Structure 1
Amino acid sequence: MSSLKVDNLTYRTSPETLKRVFEKYGEVGDVYIPRDRFTRESRGFAFVRFYDKRDAEDAIDAMDGAILDGRELRVQMARVAEDLSSIPGAGQGRGAKSAQSLHLAVKRTVTTPHGRSREAL
């Protein structure tokens, strides 16, 4: 399968719309629109997977720069994430020794039921 990254989407563009538009160039396996984990709104880009690489290339040729929902699309082959083995501690799961030095401290004020407050990390 070949994946395309489609940038500059409106927040209202649906996976169904993207599938309908892109399936003109070949059989689409699936469409994924990442969403913000808190607001659940679209993050403004999507991934469209084609079964055939030639169909994906045809879609890039036709759709890069095309207008959809009033926006000019940027379409390119999706890139595979960097090999994590080159990053110390990455990809070793939670609690890995090499990742133990990575911490995030948040300073906050805690108020007890008795009205006392103290700073906590």
Structure 2
Amino acid sequence: MHRDSCPLDCKVYLGNLGNNGDKTELERTSGYYGPLRSVWVARNPPGFAFVEFEDHRDAADAVRELDGRTLCGCRVRVELSNGERRSRNRGPSPSWDRRP
């Protein structure tokens, strides 16, 4: 395996961070479960982050222990990343389809 690639089972998604995503806090909290390769916190739009672990077992432990916990002042959703990018253009909102 190429050194720079990370299997998806090593990459963890943290959602519902609001505007409070703090890289240092996420590194400290996630690093408790094992060595990290990287931490990336979204800024525009804010509210989520990705943490890459060196070992998939550490990633699984972090998901199990951190999901639903309070991090960066918010109750977060934590799950293994599925590798799919969410589209910015998701189509019209349901309210646009309403007819008077």
Cα distance in structure 2, aligned partners of 1:12 and 1:65: 16
Pick from 18, 32, 37: which aligns with 2:26?
18
Sequence identity, in percent?
34
TM-score by length of 2: 0.70
Cα deviations across residues 48-68 of structure 1 (Å, max 9, x unaligned)? 000100000000011001111
Matched, 1:67 2:75: no
Task: Select which of 26, 29, 42 maps to 1:34.
Answer: 42
RMSD: 1.5
Larger radius of gyration: 1
Matches within 5 A, 1:74-113: 74-81=77-84
Aligned to 1:8: 16
Q: TM-score scaled to structure 1, two decimals?
A: 0.59
Pick which of 45-54 and 26-35 moved more.
26-35
For structure 1, the residue ranges without an aligned partner over 5 or more in a row are 37-41, 83-121
Counting matched residue pairs gives 77
Q: Which runs of 4+ in 1 moved over 3 A?
A: none
Q: Which runs of 5+ in 2 are unaligned?
A: 1-5, 86-100
Q: Are the equivalent residues in 1 in contact too, given 2:13–2:51 (CA < 8 A)? A: yes
